[in-house]
């Protein structure tokens, strides 16, 4: 257990060193996934952050060498938007036409599975007309 905690602290220190040179907006979108064989693995929330970090790879490796005396020969970046950090997905309004809502309600009337029928009715009720 102590080895796992030590590894987690090490990765947290790497993340903190990276966040010192990255903009504040990067914090919720970047996670250090691992460091093995002088390769750093980062998971990011979007392709935009992945591209930005790829352009900064030399700057990031230099910063880690200076701040932590850590040798990084390469950075592998993967887009993994699930469970990255404390941020929450943005709730977006569901726009459904009147015809679509009516179709969902009619479909629900002919479905034997009560929970599925109720879900379709809730979806029809939650949808709004596009503006």
CB–CB of 68/103 below 8 Å? no
Q: Would you state the pLDDT for residue 111?
A: 92
DSSP per-residue codes, the chain: -HHHHHHHHHHHHHHHHHHHHS-GGGGGGEEEEEEETTEEEEEESSHHHHHHHHHTHHHHHHHHHHHH----SEEEEEE--TT-SS--PPP-PPB--HHHHHHHHHHHHT-S-HHHHHHHHHHHHH-B---
Query: Which parts of the chain sit beneath pLDDT 50?
Result: none
Q: Would you state the pLDDT for residue 86?
A: 56
Q: Would you state the pLDDT for residue 95?
A: 80
Using CA atoms, how far residue 125 sits from 3, 75, 102, 114, in Å, is 52, 47, 10, 16
Q: Would you state the pLDDT for residue 109?
A: 94
pTM (two decimals):
0.60
Q: Could you tell me the sign of the dihedral formed by the alpha carbons of 10, 15, 17, 18, in that order?
A: positive
∠ CA 25-81-50, rounded to 5°: 60
């Amino acid at each position: 257990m102590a080895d796992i905690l030590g590894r987690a602290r090490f990765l947290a220190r790497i993340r903190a060193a990276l966040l010192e040179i990255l903009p504040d907006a990067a914090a919720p979108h970047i996670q250090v996934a691992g460091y093995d064989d002088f390769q750093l693995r980062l998971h990011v929330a979007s392709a935009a952050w992945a591209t930005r970090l790829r352009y900064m790879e030399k700057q990031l490796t230099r910063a880690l060498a200076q701040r932590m005396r850590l040798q990084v020969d390469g950075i592998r970046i993967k887009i993994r938007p699930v469970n990255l950090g404390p941020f929450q997905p943005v709730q977006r309004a569901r726009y459904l036409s009147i015809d679509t809502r009516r179709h969902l309600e009619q479909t629900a009337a002919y479905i034997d599975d009560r929970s599925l029928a109720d879900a379709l009715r809730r979806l029809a009720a939650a949808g709004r007309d596009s503006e």
